[in-house]
């Protein structure tokens, strides 16, 4: 199939204004680095997604659902496939009793704030995570002792064959930064969370405390993808990196943050290659110094 025919089909499914070619992914990731996606497609609503995923699967063209790009590093060589982004039709947040239903593109921060306003507790840990609901379910996102698995009731998942299933938290086999969607790929459409009633002021107080901790301990002034590496069992990645003498280590403008060594940050014009090379250096030095193997938390797309 020619690129012209492919573009026309993508536009037919997603809408004429929702298909971009050679789109720089530095505009769509929190690292503010990386090459271009061959095609970048915004999916306006659920019907479009249910048509798009089986179609792309039938073409054999690589594709990836990017969420808000808060945990993503795209190669400087680009991504020779389709990056999908869910549009405004997936951002709705609604409440029924003590349950909140949120579309996959809804902001975690917005959902946590809306819950607090209504006097529902359980999402305070997510109040500073700059990701989407879908991405949070996919990786069982967490912070400050809280995780998505603690409040997720179920999620509607679109699988690659075009089938949809309502999967419980148990079905998704959620564990530390893992769901079974990493092994059986699927797209989160929406998710339902069960929360607890509490005093809104108490909830906001806890959220404010988490905010203070983030400002004090995390390098929020620089682009990053949050914690670069997963927490090894029995250890903290940031301490291992610090103990290996890597605080301030850098490749180009990619730095191991002096404020929190668990973060690799972009202090200017870091490339995806700079960031990746620094990640590899950190892994090597930590393994040499401590014997512990650090596993990236960041998802990497393309050729590095």
CA 276 – CA 259 distance, rounded (Å): 20
Q: Which residues are catalytic?
A: 177, 227, 297
In the numeric block, the tokens 């990836």 are attached to: 64
The mean pLDDT of 196-222, rounded to a whole number, is 96
Answer whether 13's CB lies under 8 Å from 44's CB.
Answer: no
Answer whether 131's CB lies under 8 Å from 66's CB.
Answer: no
The topology under which CATH files domain 91-203 is 3.30.465
CA 304 – CA 293 distance, rounded (Å): 20
Return the percentage of the chain with pLDDT > 70, whole number: 100
Amino acid 3: pLDDT: 87
Output the CA torsion 151→224→34→72 (10° steps): -20
* pLDDT at residue 58 is higher than 90: yes
CA 112 – CA 126 distance, rounded (Å): 6
CA 176 – CA 149 distance, rounded (Å): 9
What's the burial of 61, exposed, middle or buried (CB within 10 Å: 0-12/13-18/19+)? Answer: middle
The mean pLDDT of 183-195, rounded to a whole number, is 96
C-alpha pair distances (Å), 163 with each of 5, 23, 51, 234: 26, 30, 11, 39
**Going by C-beta distance under 8 Å and a sequence separation of 6 or more, which residues neighbour residue 279?**
228, 229, 264, 296, 298
Hey, is 8 helix, strand or coil? helix
Own/partner pairs, 46-51, CB within 8 angstroms, 24+ separation = 46/89, 46/90, 46/189, 48/13, 48/14, 48/15, 49/84, 49/86, 49/158, 49/187, 49/189, 50/158, 50/162, 50/164, 51/13
Taking each helix axis from N to C terminus, what angle separates 46-59 and 3-14, rounded to the nearest 10 degrees?
160
Residue-wise pLDDT for 218-250, tens only, equals 999 999 999 999 999 999 999 999 999 999 999
Return the percentage of the chain with pLDDT > 90, whole number: 97
* pLDDT at residue 140 is higher than 90: yes
Element (H, E) at 272: helix 272-290
* pLDDT at residue 2 is higher than 90: no
C-alpha pair distances (Å), 118 with each of 101, 193, 277: 14, 14, 45
Spans of all domains in the chain: 3-88, 91-203, 219-301
Residue-wise pLDDT for 101-117, tens only, equals 999 999 999 999 999 99
* pLDDT at residue 162 is higher than 90: no
Element (H, E) at 58: helix 46-59
CA 128 – CA 216 distance, rounded (Å): 13
Average pLDDT of every residue of the chain: 96
Q: How confident is the model at residue 161 (pLDDT cuts 50, 70, 90)?
A: confident
Strand pairing report for 72-74 and 299-301? parallel
**CATH node for 219-301:** 3.90.78.10
Hey, is 241 helix, strand or coil? helix
Hey, is 296 helix, strand or coil? strand
Hey, is 268 helix, strand or coil? coil
Answer whether 71's CB lies under 8 Å from 298's CB.
Answer: yes
Strand pairing report for 152-159 and 164-168? antiparallel
Architecture of domain 3-88: 2-Layer Sandwich (3.30)
Residue-wise pLDDT for 67-104, tens only, equals 899 999 999 999 999 999 999 999 999 999 999 999 99
């Amino acid at each position: 199939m020619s690129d012209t025919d492919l573009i026309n089909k993508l536009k037919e499914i997603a809408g004429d204004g929702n298909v971009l070619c050679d789109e720089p992914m530095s505009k769509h990731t929190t690292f503010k680095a990386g090459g271009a996606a061959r095609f970048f497609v915004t999916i306006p609503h659920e019907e479009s997604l249910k048509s798009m995923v089986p179609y792309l699967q039938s073409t054999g063209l690589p594709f990836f659902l990017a969420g808000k790009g808060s945990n993503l590093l795209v190669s400087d060589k680009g991504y020779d496939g389709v990056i999908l982004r869910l549009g405004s039709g997936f951002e709705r947040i609604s409440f029924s009793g003590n349950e909140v239903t949120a579309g996959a593109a809804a902001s975690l921060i917005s959902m946590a704030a809306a819950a607090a306003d209504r006097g529902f507790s359980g999402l305070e840990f997510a109040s500073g995570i700059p990701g989407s609901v879908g991405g949070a379910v996919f990786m069982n996102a967490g912070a400050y002792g809280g995780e998505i698995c603690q409040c997720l009731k179920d999620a509607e998942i679109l699988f690659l064959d075009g089938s949809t299933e309502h999967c419980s938290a148990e079905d998704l086999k959620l564990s530390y930064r893992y769901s079974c969607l990493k092994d059986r790929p699927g797209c989160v459409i929406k998710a339902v969370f069960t929360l607890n009633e509490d005093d809104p002021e108490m909830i906001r107080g806890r959220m404010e405390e988490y905010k203070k901790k983030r400002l004090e301990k995390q390098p929020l002034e620089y682009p990053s993808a949050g914690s670069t590496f997963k927490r090894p069992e029995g250890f903290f990645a940031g301490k291992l990196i610090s103990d290996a003498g890597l605080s301030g280590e850098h490749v180009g403008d990619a730095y191991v943050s002096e404020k929190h060594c668990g973060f690799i940050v972009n202090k200017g014009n870091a490339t995806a290659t700079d960031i990746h090379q620094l990640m590899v250096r950190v892994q090597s030095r930590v393994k040499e110094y401590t014997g512990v193997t650090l596993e990236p938390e960041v998802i990497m797309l393309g050729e590095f």
